[in-house]
Amino acid sequence: MNLVEMADIRKSYYGFEVLHGVHFCLRAGTVHALMGENGAGKSTLMKVIAGIHRCDSGVIKMDGKEVDIDSPSKARSLGIAMIHQELSAVSEMSVAENMFLGREPVQMGFINYKQLYKNTSDLLEELGIAINPKTKMKNLRVADQQMVEIAKALSQNARVVIMDEPTSAITDHEVESLFRMIKDLKSRGTGVVYISHKMDEIFRIADEITVLRDGENVNTWQAKDVDSDTLIKNMVGRELKAQFPKIQVPIGEPVLTVKNLSKANQYEDISFELRKGEILGFVGLVGSGRTELMHSIFGLTHPDSGEIYLYGKKVQFKKPQEAIKNGLAYVTEDRKGEGLVLPMGVHHNMTLSSLKSFSKSGLLQQRREAVSVEQQIKALGVKVSNPKKSVKSLSGGNQQKVVLAKWMITAPKIIIFDEPTRGIDVGAKAEIYKIMGEYVSQGYSIIMVSSEMPEAMGMSDRIIVLSNHKMSGEINRDEFSQESIVQMQFKHM
């Protein structure tokens, strides 16, 4: 008997149906991977079972009995927990307060903080997570916030655990810890729904795989009976002939030179050159100093020592505006927290970094802005019915294109991509890669920070490896080897 059975689930928003009679089953003690492009309906389907959205029609059964899940609290009472892709922590509260929010131990009408911290500490220790329960969530790295969210869900002793992109911001070591947790959950008879775009994870952890496309079932397989090419073909409705459409571009003279750059506890003695037409990859474990280094190059932070040269001229950007004026752009790894203003429309997000160029006497020239926005929508293939539509309503891939469009309007000559395809599906990834290739083919240059080894090796002309804040190696494309790159990542550990 299935632990969960969803039959003929339909859901509409504002008259537009996004789930078209979807069927989905989860067996106890198994991991069922749910796959599909962004916008395929995966998260919506899971939010129905988690009580966040209520389906318009269809039947949900648990243990063969029909249930009415009309709220998240009802879902929790049935033993259903969901780890969301978008972190939902209360940033001003502690780890412990977030972990047991609404379930705090109480003594004489007051929260028993001593017991709260002990319960949290015991749980984190059991899961191998080294985080102080009293630390405020806002002071944690994104990866640590993600681990707290995972621990929170597991603390509920749920019979069904839904994981929506749980590894999008955690290290390889933390992924291994998560997989051990999942194995333990399976041994207890818990059913796990696992949503991810990472093929290697899917084939490591899943027992069954279901693909959705455009709100409909495509197929369900036993994981052992299907391969990645088949999954990709079913997800996108077409065969992606080149997952990494690398365009070979002549590499020219240095455009950016970094010499002996250091910042205490972030990165140490970093030197490299970025050349015209080059995609220079940066690889390293989370915490190795990759993003911190990029922040300093872009003027978000300032190095303690070292020099930066742009086209042979020494520069020292005191703020990002100076970097932008000199032809740099920075596509942040956190597109929703730092790259976009979610409630605003697509058009205003696209012109945020270049408002002065659309203004005259302090007034925004809306016609010029609209023309530029339409050009970017067409050039980058942004799928949006109306440019004034809120950017938060777009899929992850289209949101990333909006971030990129924002920078393209500034006419940059160098773009720093920090995790360019995090949390977007395989089809959208291929589109982003194509845009990157076309950009460097015009003689411009890219620095790409990536945690995905296939992406780094597939798109880079050269890779620099960081380990524990230091450079541990540099490899040219014709010498790429995953084994050697991984070894370099641990060189200074």
Confidence band of 14 (pLDDT split at 50, 70, 90):
low
Confidence band of 362 (pLDDT split at 50, 70, 90):
confident
Residue 67 lies in a domain: yes
Q: In whole angstroms, what is the distance from residue 217 CA to residue 36 CA?
A: 10
Confidence band of 251 (pLDDT split at 50, 70, 90):
very high
Q: Are residues 225 and 303 in the same domain?
A: no
- Quickly count: other Cβ atoms within 10 Å of residue 66's Cβ: 10
Structural tokens at position 324: 């932008």
Q: In whole angstroms, what is the distance from residue 444 CA to residue 414 CA?
A: 6
Distance of CA 357 to the CA centre of its chain: 31
C-alpha angle 384-390-391 in degrees, rounded to nearest 5? 70
Q: Are residues 229 and 280 in the same domain?
A: no
Q: Are residues 184 and 262 in the same domain?
A: no
Residue 114 lies in a domain: yes
Higher pLDDT, 362 or 75: 75
Last residue of a domain, one of 210, 236, 262: 236
Q: Are residues 229 and 260 in the same domain?
A: no
Q: Nearest Cα to 245, choosing from 436, 91, 442, 19?
A: 436
Count of structural domains, the chain: 2
Please state the pTM of the whole predicted model.
0.65
Q: Are residues 345 and 478 in the same domain?
A: yes
Residue 183 lies in a domain: yes
Q: H or E segment at 436?
A: helix 426-440
Q: Which residues touch 112 (CB under 8 Å, ≥6 apart)?
A: 104, 105, 106
pLDDT tens digit string along 218-244? 999 999 999 988 888 888 776 655 678
Q: In whole angstroms, what is the distance from residue 141 CA to residue 384 CA?
A: 32
Last residue of a domain, one of 236, 270, 300: 236
Q: Are residues 98 and 154 in the same domain?
A: yes
Q: Are residues 395 and 294 in the same domain?
A: yes
Distance of CA 461 to the CA centre of its chain: 24
Residue 242 lies in a domain: no
Q: In whole angstroms, what is the distance from residue 484 CA to residue 408 CA?
A: 35
Q: Are residues 301 and 388 in the same domain?
A: yes
Last residue of a domain, one of 236, 271, 306: 236
Count Cβ atoms within 10 A of the Cβ of residue 136 and give its class: 0-12 exposed, 13-18 middle, 19 or more buried. Answer: middle
Q: What is the reported pLDDT for 28? A: 96
- Quickly count: other Cβ atoms within 10 Å of residue 16's Cβ: 8
Residue 85 lies in a domain: yes
Given CA atoms 150, 88, 80, 193 in this order, what sign does their dihedral have?
Answer: negative
Contact 192, 163 (CB under 8 A): yes
Q: Are residues 232 and 260 in the same domain?
A: no
Residue 243 lies in a domain: no
pLDDT tens digit string along 109-136? 899 999 999 999 998 888 778 899 999 9
Residue 245 lies in a domain: no
Residue 241 lies in a domain: no
Q: In whole angstroms, what is the distance from residue 242 CA to residue 249 CA?
A: 17
Highest mean pLDDT of the ranges 94-103, 175-184, 291-300, 377-386: 291-300
353 has pLDDT over 80: yes
Q: In whole angstroms, what is the distance from residue 367 CA to residue 464 CA?
A: 44
Q: What is the reported pLDDT for 85? A: 67
Q: Are residues 303 and 427 in the same domain?
A: yes
Q: What is the reported pLDDT for 322? A: 96
What is the domain range of residue 188? 4-236
Q: Are residues 88 and 214 in the same domain?
A: yes
CA distances from 260 to 109, 273, 305, 309 (A): 58, 12, 7, 12
The CATH code of the domain that includes 152 is 3.40.50.300
What residue type is assigned to position 227 of the chain? D
pLDDT tens digit string along 165-212? 888 767 777 788 888 889 988 998 999 999 987 888 999 999 999 999
Q: Are residues 218 and 329 in the same domain?
A: no
